[in-house]
Each structure stands twice: as C-alpha cells, then as structure tokens.
Amino acid sequence: MTKLVLVDDHKVFLQGMEALLSRTEDFEVIATYTDGLDLMRFLAEGELPDVLLLDIEMKSISGVEVADNVLKQYPSIRVIMLSTYFDEDFVQHLMESGISGYLLKSTGFPDLKAAITKVAEGSFAFSPEVMDVIVKGFGSKEKNSGSAQRVESNPLTDREVELIRLIADELTMKEIAEKLFLSEHTVKTHRKNIMAKMEVKNTAGMIKKAFILGLIE
C-alpha cells in the first residue's frame, strides 16, 4: 500500500482529495496539512510517506521551498506538485531539484490515481498541458543557448540511447556491462559522454531529460 501525505492550504480541496484517496485500497493517507512548516515537523518525527502531494501556492511558505527541503532531507520521498496553473520556470527548477510530477488541480480523479501509482513505482507524471509546455520550453531554451546545434552535430547514438534506457530500468553499471558485453569502464565512459551531450550534471538529470525528450517512458 502506498503511503501518502497531502499538503494544501485550501481546506475544502484538501478534505475532498483526502476523502477520495482514502477510499482507494492501494493508498493510505497518513497525514494532511495546510502548512508546509507543519509538514516538515511531521517528517522530522520519522514517519515518511512514499508520495507527497504538495500544493505549489501556500501562504506561510511556498510549495517550491517545501519541495526543495523535502527532496534534500528525505530523498526517498517522491514529490508530486499540484497547482491551478502552469509555470515553466517553477517546473524547470523543481525538476532539477528532483520532483516526480506536476499536476494541474483540474486533473480528474482517475488520472490522479494513475499518476500517484506511476510515481510510487518510480516513474514520472505530468498533466498533458504541463508536458506540452515543458517540451516546447525545453526546445526553445536549447535553441537559444546553442545546445540544439551542438546536439544536432553530435547526436546520441543508438547504443547511448540503449544505455539510458537500461539505467532508467535501474540496472547497475556491472549489469549493463554484462548485458551489452562491454567493460564497466566503457559503460561509465558512455555515461559520461551522454551527460556531456545532454548537458546534465548527474544520472538523475540524464533520466529526467531523457523522459522529457521521449527517449524513455
């Protein structure tokens, strides 16, 4: 069963979401809060959820700040941001921090349940409207920075795409080397080259960008 914590300063929305999710056998809502600071105090006591659904707009402390702190202090928690609108800059910052999803509050309940399940299983979930803007914004930023030209002149090879997908499937460097009949050193070199091409700093960043580009599901 997936343990959930819900945080939203709109009490009616929070209570409605709790009521709906609590009726689902696969989920257990272990706590709800209207304030991010109360959430941080709860997490400090030691009981951690699998997934945190977090409102991006709150009065005492913004959801962006809360997400940053949660992801730094409790990396095992997977965070889904909730918002009434889409802000590309927020999503870019939050994805770099490590969020697993960004859903509009207009999302239907079946889609919300599916998104929580995907995130709990280690995948990502974004509202279609959010994904469209992310992809367009990503392409625009790449073009403006000159990255698109660099990628076009030095694209990912089929082997590099295959390696990205194996890493996304959580295979270790040793397991990937054995599967591809390569040395671990060669696999690590491929990974380093991929990160340079994609202009990311770590494996998490590589997986997130690969997801945005549609290289992995």
Asked if the model's pLDDT at residue 150 lies above 70, the reply is no
Q: Which residue has the higher pLDDT, 28 or 216?
A: 28
The model's pLDDT over 13-65, given as tens digits with 9 standing for 90+, comes to 999 999 999 999 999 999 999 999 999 999 999 999 999 999 988 877 889 89
Give the rounded distance of the alpha carbon of 189 from its chain centre.
Answer: 26
Please tell me the distance from the alpha carbon of residue 122 to that of residue 89, in angstroms, as a whole number: 24
Please report, rounded to a whole number, the percentage of residues in the chain having pLDDT higher than 90.
Answer: 44
Q: What is the pLDDT of residue 133?
A: 60
Q: With 60 as the cut, is the pLDDT of residue 140 above it?
A: no
Q: 152: pLDDT confidence band, cut at 50, 70 and 90?
A: very low
pLDDT for the residue numbered 168: 82
> In sequence order, what DSSP letters do the residues of 58-74 get, joined into one string?
-SSS-HHHHHHHHHHH-
For residue 27, what pLDDT is reported? 96
Residue 87 binned pLDDT confidence (cut-offs 50, 70, 90): low
Q: How far apart are the C-alpha atoms of 13 and 99, rounded to whole Å? A: 22
**Rounded to whole angstroms, how far apart are CA atoms 31 and 6?**
7
pLDDT of residue 134: 59
Distance, CA of 178 to CA of 175 (rounded, Å): 5
Closest to 16 in 3D by CA, of 98, 112, 124: 112
Locate CATH 1.10.10.10 in the chain: 154-212
Per-residue pLDDT band for 66 (boundaries 50, 70, 90) equals very high
pLDDT at 147: 46
Q: Does domain 154-212 have CATH number 1.10.3720.10?
A: no
CATH architecture of 2-134: 3-Layer(aba) Sandwich (3.40)
The whole-model pTM stands at 0.70
Q: Please, where in the chain does CATH 3.40.50.2300 lie? A: 2-134
pLDDT tens column, 88-134: 677 777 777 788 888 999 999 999 999 999 889 877 888 877 776 65
> d(Cα 205, Cα 164) in Å, to the nearest integer?
11
Confidence (pLDDT) at 35: 93
